[in-house]
Amino acid sequence: MNTYSAVKNRLLQLLGEKKMSIHKLAMESAVAPSSIKNILYGKSKNPGIVTIKMLCDGLGISLTEFFNTEAFASLEQEIK
């Protein structure tokens, strides 16, 4: 799995757990719905850490909670 897929999958997982729509997350995080959709649907393959932090704020979690998963722990080096 690459980093983009890990971010996308984690965001989808959290939306499901919190029972939040993209629109609700946009309202709670002050991130445009189009930006969230671009991350989820592959147009934005490199979301910035500030954007991820804002999304975490909207989800009510910390950056540590966002990245503290097996998917992120097992990422391989992408530049070889």
Judge whether 27 and 57 are in contact, CB under 8 Å: no
State pLDDT tens for residues 11-64: 999 999 999 999 999 999 999 999 999 999 989 889 999 999 999 999 999 999
CATH superfamily assigned to domain 3-73 = lambda repressor-like DNA-binding domains (1.10.260.40)
Neighbours of 80 (CB within 10 A): 4
Q: Please, where are the H alpha helices in the chain?
A: 3-18, 22-29, 33-40, 49-59, 63-67, 70-73
The domain spans of the chain are: 3-73
Tell me the residue type at 52. I
37 Rama sector, left if φ>0, alpha if ψ -120 to 50, beta otherwise: alpha
Q: What is the pTM of this model?
A: 0.91
Does residue 80 register a pLDDT over 90? no
